[in-house]
Structure 1
Amino acid sequence: MTDMGGLIRNRIFKRWTGCILILILSICLSGCWDRRELQERHFVLAVAIDKADEGLGAERGKDVDRVEDFVQPHGSKLYRLSFQILQLTPSNNSEGAGRGNTSTSVISTTGESMLEMIWDLQGQSNKELWFDHVQTIIISDAAAKQGGLQPILDFYHRNEEIRWLTKVVITDGEARDLLDYKPPSGEASGLFIANSLRMYAKSQHVPGWHTDLGDISTSKDNRRRVLLPRIEMADDVVKLGGMAIFKNEKFVGYVDEYATQGGKLMGGLERSAVITFQCPEHSGSILAFELFSHTTKIKPHVEGEKIYYTLDINIRGNMAEMQCRLQHDTIKDQDIHKLEQLVANVVKENILYSFRIFQDLKVDASFFGPKLEIYEPQVWERVKDHWDDEVFPKTSLIISVNVVIEGVGAHQ
């Protein structure tokens, strides 16, 4: 016969043993063994990368230059690396229990290896530097022209702390100056710039597509062109507009706001835009069309040795502004159709303007090459090795634009 009492005692023993083990493990795993208070960290909000000798004027003393330096066993002093640091301090106000005060400061050093400079910058901070919240990386064009993007961004692509949604911009001035900028919103300039870039859908002058750190890494890995939004600062005014183009990670040149807008129209990337033009009947009067929806279709065609593309665009929107409204009857269909044709002509001119600039720079910024690879793979194999330098600059673009004006606003 089975010893029922022994079985029961055995089960009770196993259950108690399991409970004790769970309690022991809970005690060992509870809490954060490496916990550090927020006030014990310095969060890096923005990174600025300049050429080492850039921005050295009378306002910078020799003692400052000496502090922003270190004995470098290998390499040269190519870059000045600057961090915008968010400092958190406990509140001294009894009413603000649980709250703290925030401020930002900027530290800099010079060198070549980004990691080596970061370790040197730790000597200017009494707390550990953390990169989990980096919002913006600002690169001066002088630094980019020295050796391209690879030596500048390689560390940030490899670092697991830095998010791939970090915004990257380029400036023709000194990048560090933008870290010292005090936005009217009161937030840190690193946050201000990142939030401004996220509004690219509301500004046709800002290239918001494929410009994050992760997108740049993907473009570099696939040997594609890289586009960086351009940011300018004059006195206390900061503005985003236009872009810089890199090919094979080398700086090619800047593209103005109008060409940036044309590139977005060409690629079907506009979700909201304003298209202005002069009224042909009333000199000096401006009309403005507000774009609401936008689709494009690009198709390559091959005729012998000739390669050309057709671009079909469909746009919908409203007439948002008519300075000569009293001279037009926007109730009549024929007048609406005239306005639609005017908008179509302006869109066509804008796209051709951008297309010619990309051809002059010998950069296929709107991915015409990949379209040819999809539709005509055999032709692409024949021309891919000299596409940017020889074939693309000679291609033609035939544009067809269909515009539908859905409304003329709340007032006729």
Structure 2
Amino acid sequence: MINLWQNLIKQILVFVLVAPLLTGCWDRLEIEDRAVVLAIGIDKAKPGDEKESSNATHILGQDPEANKGLIRITVQIAVPGRIPLGAGSGSGSPSGEKPVWVLTSVGYTIQDALLNLQQQLADKLFFGHLRVIVISEAVAKKGIENENDFFRRQPQVRRTVWMVVSKGNAADIMNATPQLERVPSLYLLATLEHSRERGTLPNIFLGVFLSANSAKGQEGMLPYLELKKESNIELAGMAYFKNDKMVGVTTALQIGHYMAIKQINPGGYSVIQEMPGSKTLVIFKSTHRKSRITTTIKNGKVHTIIKCQIEGDLTEKSNEKVFITKGNLKKLEEKIQEDANVGFGKLIQQTQKDGSDIFGFGEYVRATQPAYWNKEIKTEESWQDQYKEMSFDVTVHVKIRRIGTKTN
């Protein structure tokens, strides 16, 4: 009798465990019934744009003062059957047909604008394949707290999405038609990914930005893009933030300075320099970087010591009559070191002036000087103030490893 009850209980347990697996795809949604969003652009709306809103979320009439915070979103939606499947003219859509559908909508928040956009679509918006988020400089300077909140809460949005700041309107980049890629969002994605692989851009996708933005001793930054003629896109620098507001922009070369301080490899930036004792111009390209950052307390204030080692190659010389010797090669290294010390220092001072610690020096203080942090700093706002007064020493050592296949 006992064995009979034990067998019955086992059968019931097996049935209970297996039953949930028999439900199948009861909540499935066919891919053809999804509006797949590939890219989103966010701009400030213009006066009068509130008339475009479908009022899908408004119970009462909106206060006219709230219209000042209205935003416009521009989305690229993949058109089924028109996305190229590979290289060659035989894949993808027929010639002349656009692979994406660009739509726009307005709202008071990201979700509000997307709900108004959903009123225009038969299929449900799907963000699982979102690759790029473009925020205009005007929106970034005003503050992206709402954008951070929406994309952090949205489970379909991957943390490997690239979020960037555009110098002009984000809608212009959404409507760009690059010649090297039929899908504009994929060209923009390739621009960022290939820059990272070449060593000209750190890996600062959405997840990294949100993490830095949430830290007490570090601020976030995003790639800063500019749309040029012929719809080509230039990586013009990095936009750095204080809390959720953009407060400054670096130059393209300063990206290399940042990556050297943070020991991000490979090295991809080059500098042009005069050969000592002549007017001959040479190009030095960094290939590998090492860095060590230490923090101490000096006279009651944080003092940071940065030591960088940069190795690279001499890739070009403008005058063949000027020969490369060990002597002038050593002088060239010293000249590059001197300029690098100045350039690195200017970048740190620039971010100090804006109170934006993009290097994470505050996190080094929290890790190595916890007693000082807990007593003197404690909060993110306090570190932003102390960062402006932080003293630092930068030492750069440059080594030219190769001069190419020529002996002179």
- Give the TM interval when normalised to the shorter protein: 0.7 to 0.9
Report the CA distance shift for 1:163/1:129 in structure 2 as closer, same or farther (over 3 A).
Answer: same
Do the aligned residues in 1 keep the contact of 2:198 with 2:266 (CA within 8 Å)? Answer: no
Scaled by the length of structure 1, the TM-score of the pair is: 0.80
Q: Which moved more, 1:356-365 or 1:42-51?
A: 356-365
Do the aligned residues in 1 keep the contact of 2:136 with 2:167 (CA within 8 Å)? Answer: yes
Do the aligned residues in 2 keep the contact of 1:38 with 1:88 (CA within 8 Å)? Answer: no
Q: What are the ranges of 5 or more consecutive residues in structure 1 without an aligned counterpart?
A: 1-9, 57-61, 92-97
Which residue of structure 1 aligns with residue 129 of structure 2?
A: 133
Tell me the distance in 2 between the aligned counterparts of 1:26 and 1:50: 45
Question: Are 1:337 and 2:330 matched, yes or no?
Answer: yes
Which residue of structure 2 aligns with residue 230 of structure 1?
A: 224
Tell me the distance in 1 between the aligned counterparts of 2:197 and 2:20: 51
Report the CA distance shift for 1:132/1:303 in structure 2 as closer, same or farther (over 3 A).
Answer: closer
Tell me the distance in 2 between the aligned counterparts of 1:322 and 1:25: 74
Letter aligned with residue 405 of structure 1: I
Scaled by the length of structure 2, the TM-score of the pair is: 0.81
Cα-to-partner distance string for 1:279-323 (whole Å, 9 max, x where unaligned): 23223x321112221110011233333543222112222111122
- 1:108-187 to 2 correspondence within 5 Å? 108-146=104-142, 148-187=143-182
Question: Are 1:49 and 2:22 matched, yes or no?
Answer: no
Which of 84, 87, 107 lines up with 2:79 in the alignment?
Answer: 87
Do the aligned residues in 1 keep the contact of 2:82 with 2:99 (CA within 8 Å)? Answer: no
Shift, 1:270, TM fit:
4.1
Tell me the distance in 2 between the aligned counterparts of 1:160 and 1:66: 31
Do the aligned residues in 2 keep the contact of 1:259 with 1:353 (CA within 8 Å)? Answer: no
- The structure with the largest alpha-carbon Rg is 1
Report the CA distance shift for 1:298/1:181 in structure 2 as closer, same or farther (over 3 A).
Answer: same
Letter aligned with residue 113 of structure 1: T
Shift, 1:160, TM fit:
0.9
Report the CA distance shift for 1:344/1:306 in structure 2 as closer, same or farther (over 3 A).
Answer: same
Which residue of structure 1 aligns with residue 87 of structure 2?
A: none
Tell me the distance in 2 between the aligned counterparts of 1:68 and 1:189: 27
Which residue of structure 2 aligns with residue 95 of structure 1?
A: none
Shift, 1:135, TM fit:
0.5
Aligned-pair identity in percent equals: 22
Q: Which moved more, 1:175-184 or 1:382-391?
A: 382-391
Report the CA distance shift for 1:125/1:321 in structure 2 as closer, same or farther (over 3 A).
Answer: same
Which of 289, 292, 306 lines up with 1:297 in the alignment?
Answer: 292
Alpha-carbon RMSD across the aligned residues, in angstroms, is 3.2
Q: What are the ranges of 5 or more consecutive residues in structure 2 without an aligned counterpart?
A: 84-89
Cα-to-partner distance string for 1:325-362 (whole Å, 9 max, x where unaligned): 431234xx333322322222232222112111112212
Do the aligned residues in 2 keep the contact of 1:183 with 1:189 (CA within 8 Å)? Answer: yes
Cα-to-partner distance string for 1:89-110 (whole Å, 9 max, x where unaligned): 389xxxxxx9763611111111
Tell me the distance in 1 between the aligned counterparts of 2:243 and 2:348: 20
Do the aligned residues in 2 keep the contact of 1:39 with 1:89 (CA within 8 Å)? Answer: no
Tell me the distance in 1 between the aligned counterparts of 2:199 and 2:338: 18
Report the CA distance shift for 1:27/1:212 in structure 2 as closer, same or farther (over 3 A).
Answer: closer
Tell me the distance in 1 between the aligned counterparts of 2:290 and 2:120: 52
Residue aligned with 2:36, SS: strand
Aligned length: 375
